Amino acid sequence: MRCKVCGKKLPHGDVLEVDCGVKVEVCHNCARIIKEASKLVKDEKVFVSEAASEYLKSDELREAFCGECPWNVYHPGYFNALSSTVDPPWNECPADLDVSSDKCYHKSDYEEIVALLAEADDVAGMRKVVRVL
C-alpha cells in the first residue's frame, strides 16, 4: 500500500479520515501536514440557488438581523434652522450593515441560515449556482 499524497510505501497502512467521510491512506508525515494545513485553511465554498441568494440579499433579512442589533447604533441627525446646517440620520455599524462580513455580530447566525438554505436546495433538487460564502 502506498501513500496517496507522496507515494511512499506505507508500513502499516495508516488511514486518515477526511471531514467529508472519505478515507485516504497516507503516511504519518503527510497526515501531520494535512492536519496542520486544515487548521490554517478554512475555505468553505457554499453555493445556493438563485432563489436562496435573493432571499439572503433581501431587505427583510437584513432588517431582521440589523434592526435590533446591539452593534448597530442609529444617529438621528441634526438640522439647524438658523444656519441651515444639515447632518442627515445614519447608522453606525462595524460591518457596514453587511451580514456576511466577518465583523458582523450575527455572522454565525447568517452562516447557519446559508447552510440551511443550501440543504433545502439539495432536498428540492434546485441547481446551486451562486457562491455565498
Domain ranges, ordered by start, for the chain: 1-42, 47-131
Residue 41 φ then ψ, to 5°:
-105, 120
How high is the pLDDT of residue 79?
A: 85
pLDDT tens, residue by residue, 5-37: 888 877 665 566 555 556 777 777 887 887 777
pLDDT tens, residue by residue, 40-96? 666 667 899 999 999 999 999 999 999 889 988 988 888 888 888 888 888 889 998
What global pTM score does this model have? 0.59
Instruction: Output the pLDDT for position 14.
Output: 57
Strands (E), the chain: 15-17, 23-25, 47-48, 73-75, 78-80, 85-87, 90-92, 130-131
User: Taking every pair of C-alpha atoms in the chain, what is the biggest distance, in angstroms?
Assistant: 87
What is the predicted pLDDT for the residue at 54?
95
Residue located via cell numbers 438621528: 76
Which pLDDT does position 15 carry in this prediction? 62
Q: Residue 41 has what pLDDT?
A: 63
